[in-house]
Amino acid sequence: MQSLDNSLEIASFTPYHIKQLPIDVSLNDASLTITWDDDHKSEFHYLWLRDNCHCSECIAQLTREQMFEICDVPLDIKPAEAYISDEHRLVITWDHQAHISHFHPGWLRSHCYSQASLDAKQWQPKIWDKARIQAELPKHQANDILQDDPSLLNWLKELRDYGLTLVEHVSTEPNSLVDVANRISFIRETNFGTIFNVQAKADANSAAYTDLRLPLHTDLPTRELQPGLQFLHCLVNDAAGGESILVDGFKIAQHMKEHYPDDFHSLSTFPMSFYNKDKHSDYRFRGTAIVTDSNHEVVEVRLANFLRGPIDVPAHQTVPLYQAYRRFIALTRDPQFQFFYRLNAGDLIVFDNRRVLHARNAFNLEKGYRHLQGCYVDRDELLSRIRVLERV
């Protein structure tokens, strides 16, 4: 029998530490119930357990990918025998082909799908307004992130939870943000390039490349998948003005859900069109400004007024959608939600572009120069890096 700490017996590269032990198992018609030593009870359906057998016949031990397919066993499969072994495994001999499954207690408890367990595993973002982020803005040092994995993990978890962090003392040599971004993963390329330079230029194909004020927005809502993380690194900022403005879109959505539920429903149900077009490209996407998941939790905000196409919903939805849209924009202008920050040379702000709206005040180049560099890394890469770093 393999040792308790041998992760090769589970279908993952992540070690599942044993915090509770199963002490009893009882069989039901379509499921079994495990009682743990902390009195918690977990119900697991037989189909679910057979589907998650981790033996070498069912899981490729090199890749940890599933080879077994649930359609290859009867729908009414059940245990011929089930017990807790001396090594604290749940052991099942199935009534179909006498197949034997062993379940690691750490893995099994981690995947309990009781309502209490599901609620406990639900990620909760740290939603902020101006007052909270001014007091709690996560700040990190570039050298710590570049040289130390525990510091990197701390930064990434705060970036995930707050959707906004400040990295200080980044080198002001061009393209230095690449080193920081690569500590997460590869950079996502768009029609604006891999690294984009935010500076005023004569042939601008975006308002970002002018000295004009930019209203609050998310970048590239015109794409099926908006970029996840946005990096904005200040190389030099001697110009007057140009302060960055940031608003937590989740906070605005939460406020609308609580105080203007009809408007929240309109923005999360009725789609809008977004266009990004120039001489060489034409990107378009149609989707809701507020995106919710199967639990009705807000998971994404998509908004850029300067990239929005004409409203094109059925007639009875047109006025409600305009009303809700106006409400959202008005709330983002409310000072209680707006966080102002002037980027100085060596500052790098990194934020969740599918959550945090950003803007910029107009600036004056007569008294100085302003040059920022930016790039994107997808949110999937952030979450993957966190999981790998947590494999301890």
Question: In this structure, which amino acid lies at residue 118?
Answer: L
pLDDT of residue 117: 95
- pLDDT of 211 reads 55
Q: Residue 21 sits in which domain range?
A: 7-117
CATH code of 347's domain = 3.60.130.10
CA distance 287 to 272: 5
DSSP E strand stretches across 29-176: 31-36, 41-45, 79-84, 90-94, 100-103, 139-141, 164-168
Mark which of 90, 117, 144 sits at the end of a domain: 117
Are 308 and 351 within one domain? yes
pLDDT of residue 321: 98
Domain count, the chain: 2
Number of residues assigned to the chain? 392
Question: 164-168 and 139-141: which strand pairing?
Answer: parallel
Region for 193 from its dihedrals, namely left if φ exceeds 0, alpha if ψ lies in -120 to 50, beta otherwise = left
State the CATH number of the domain containing residue 64: 3.30.2020.30
Residues 61 and 137 in one domain: no
Residues 184 and 159 in one domain: yes
For residue 205, the model assigns a pLDDT of: 41
Q: Is residue 125 part of a domain?
A: no
Query: Distance between CA atoms of 5 and 347, rounded to whole angstroms?
Result: 43
- For residues 128 and 251, the answer to whether their CB atoms sit within 8 Å is yes
Q: ∠ CA 157-159-160 to the nearest 5 degrees?
A: 65
Q: Degrees (nearest 5) of the Cα angle 381, 192, 287?
A: 65
Task: Please report where in the chains the tokens 């110009």 appear, as a residue.
Answer: 239
End-to-end C-alpha distance for the chain, whole angstroms: 23
Q: Is residue 2 part of a domain?
A: no
Same domain flag for 107 and 162: no
Which of 117, 145, 168 is the C-terminal boundary of a domain? 117
Nearest alpha carbon to residue 359 among 303, 309, 321: 303
Quote the pLDDT of residue 369. Answer: 84
Instruction: Give the DSSP H/E element, type plus range, for residue 258.
Output: helix 249-259
Q: How far apart are CA 152 and CA 220, in angstroms?
A: 27
**Whole-Å CA distances, 6 to 86, 106, 162, 360:** 16, 11, 35, 52
Q: CA-CA distance, 80 to 70, in Å (whole number)?
A: 18
The one-digit pLDDT tens for each residue of the chain (392 residues) are 334 444 446 778 888 999 999 999 999 999 999 999 999 999 999 999 999 999 999 999 889 999 999 999 999 999 999 999 999 999 999 999 999 999 999 999 999 999 999 999 999 999 999 999 999 999 999 999 999 999 999 999 999 999 999 999 999 999 999 999 999 999 999 999 999 998 754 344 444 445 566 889 999 999 999 999 999 999 998 877 778 999 999 999 999 999 999 999 999 999 999 999 888 899 999 999 999 999 899 999 999 999 999 999 999 999 999 999 999 999 999 999 999 999 999 999 999 999 999 998 766 666 778 899 999 999 999 999 999 999 98
Same domain, 284 and 332: yes
